[in-house]
Amino acid sequence: MTTGPSTLISGATLATMADSGPYGRIEDGAVLLENGMIAWVGAAAQAPRADRVIKASGVLTPGLLDCHTHLVYGGNRADEFEKRLNGASYADIARAGGGILSTVRSTRAASQAELVAQSLPRLDCLLAEGVTTVEIKSGYGLDVETEVKMLRAARALGRSRPVSVVTSFLGAHAFPPEYKDDRQAYVRLVCEEAMPAVAAAGLADAVDGFCEGIALSVAEMEAVFEAAIRHGLKVKLHAEQLSNLGGAAMAARHGALSVDHIEYLDEAGVAAIAASGTVATLLPGAFYYLREKQAPPLALLRQYEVPIAVATDLNPGSSPVHSLLSTMNMAAVLFGLTPAEALAGTTVNAARALGLADRGCIVPGQRADLALWDVAEPGELVYALGRNPLKAAWMGGDCVRGKP
Ligand code: NIG
Ligand code: FE
């Protein structure tokens, strides 16, 4: 195989996020990029020769991954934000036909091109903060045509910008109005029509669902997961967000990549996800916006050594949060994650939540997706709110933003 020109990024503090100590830190480090991959990592003084050397300062991290977003949607729900602050609850609004169903109406009404146009500025907010991989869910269509349209819009976004887009089919997000009196028929539509269509077109990398009193039951979700597994698709779940139904343990039995939200997860649930190697994805933006009181069981997650990811949950209702750095700060302040845990949550553990073994750490053999920051310490990425210290970002070895 012929090798292209190599580039050495030299002089920054590396937060490799590999196993060795907090942040996998290397002072005055260097990273050799070759053919889009990381070829060597170590101290700058020991670095191999390269065709080109970039002198860098500050902190170099893996490119960030936002492993849970609903950033493709039509319209917005600023009106519900007002209603909640005037006393209505998220569940009240959902029961009255607002909430997710309000976004379903505006998403059905939008063309694919309109969805892309409305969603691009949201994606750009994430990319401006060093995100190089983003997961995007469907789930605001709740019919075959609109679910497919949303996933096509998500794939189109991935072609419009230097970013890897990973998609999840979330037909099991809520019951559409036309099926509210025949839930089983909707579950059949998801399993027997929408999922085969999405899988045949290669539009979904995984299947997600919302298991909650106001959404699907554990048994309904289990039927969806069994269909997913028949289609060779991995599963993940919005679970235990507002109550403890046992969704996470059911997801664990199906080898879920992640269970997300999990404020109400109990010890048995934590033990179940620990045994299945499922990632706990924390979504402090929704906790913050819904002014929840019950934080996820961090002490148990640590005790059982469950990998913890952190994501924006960017969506028009429960989490209109367009900043992964702010989300890391919220994970620390609201949930008590250490800054090192918060950064692991948007790098190594977020990659794991997406089932991606080729990114998330700065180690040889991984994709050269990197972010360089104008900070002295990695913890500063979590410490400040409203400051974006990104200097430069690389995707597959190409500098796609800023300059070092
Ligand atoms: O992750 N929990 C369910 N789904 C989304 C909310 C979607 C919405 O409110 O539109 C979430 O918080
Ligand atoms: Fe979500």
Cβ neighbors of 249 (< 8 A, separation 6 or more) are: 268, 269, 272, 273
Distance 47 CA to ligand 2 centre (A): 42
Q: Determine the straight-line distance between the first and last CA of the chain, rounded to whole angstroms.
A: 29
Do residues 57 and 388 make contact, with C-beta atoms less than 8 angstroms apart?
no
Q: In the structure, what pLDDT confidence band is assigned to residue 83 with cuts at 50, 70 and 90?
A: very high
- Which of 318, 319, 330 is the pocket-test mutation for ligand 1 (most atoms within 8 Å of CB)? 318
Cβ neighbors of 64 (< 8 A, separation 6 or more) are: 129, 130, 131, 132, 133, 324, 346, 347, 350, 371
Do residues 360 and 66 make contact, with C-beta atoms less than 8 angstroms apart?
no
Cβ neighbors of 395 (< 8 A, separation 6 or more) are: 63, 132, 162, 163, 164, 368, 369
Question: Does residue 315's CB lie within 6 angstroms of at least one atom of ligand 1?
Answer: yes
Structure-block tokens of residue 216: 């699907």
Q: In the structure, what pLDDT confidence band is assigned to residue 404 with cuts at 50, 70 and 90?
A: confident
Do residues 280 and 273 make contact, with C-beta atoms less than 8 angstroms apart?
yes
Surface-to-core class of residue 111, CB atoms within 10 Å of its CB (0-12 exposed, 13-18 middle, 19+ buried) = exposed
pLDDT higher than 90, residue 30: yes
Judged by its nearest atom, the ligand closest to the C-alpha of residue 258 is 2
pLDDT higher than 90, residue 403: no
Ligand 1 atom index nearest CA of 318:
9
pLDDT at 94: 87
Distance 315 CA to ligand 1 centre (A): 7
Angle at 244 between CA 240 and CA 247, to 5 degrees: 60
Distance 218 CA to ligand 2 centre (A): 17
Instruction: Give per-residue pLDDT as tens, 106-132.
Output: 999 999 999 999 999 999 999 999 999
If one counts every other C-beta atom within 10 angstroms of the C-beta of residue 281, the result is 31
Judged by its nearest atom, the ligand closest to the C-alpha of residue 137 is 2
pLDDT higher than 80, residue 3: no
Q: Among positive and negative, which fits the CA dihedral 15, 16, 17, 21? A: negative
Instruction: Give per-residue pLDDT as tens, 330-377.
Output: 999 999 999 999 999 999 999 999 999 999 999 999 999 999 999 999
Nearest one of 296, 256, 295, 283 to 272, comparing CA atoms:
256
Quick check: pTM over 0.95?
yes
pLDDT at 4: 85
Ligand 1 atom 9 nearest Cα: 317
Question: Does residue 281's CB lie within 6 angstroms of at least one atom of ligand 1?
Answer: no
Question: Does residue 319's CB lie within 6 angstroms of at least one atom of ligand 1?
Answer: yes
Ligand 1 atom index nearest CA of 77:
10
Question: Does residue 313's CB lie within 6 angstroms of at least one atom of ligand 1?
Answer: yes
pLDDT at 2: 58
Distance 358 CA to ligand 1 centre (A): 29
- The average pLDDT across 204-228 equals 97
- The average pLDDT across 146-162 equals 98
Do residues 168 and 236 make contact, with C-beta atoms less than 8 angstroms apart?
yes
Distance 238 CA to ligand 2 centre (A): 6
Q: Strand pairing of 234-235 and 206-209?
A: parallel
Distance 213 CA to ligand 1 centre (A): 13
- Which of 238, 258, 261 is the pocket-test mutation for ligand 1 (most atoms within 8 Å of CB)? 238
Distance 316 CA to ligand 1 centre (A): 8
- Which of 100, 140, 281, 288 is the pocket-test mutation for ligand 1 (most atoms within 8 Å of CB)? 100
Distance 143 CA to ligand 2 centre (A): 18
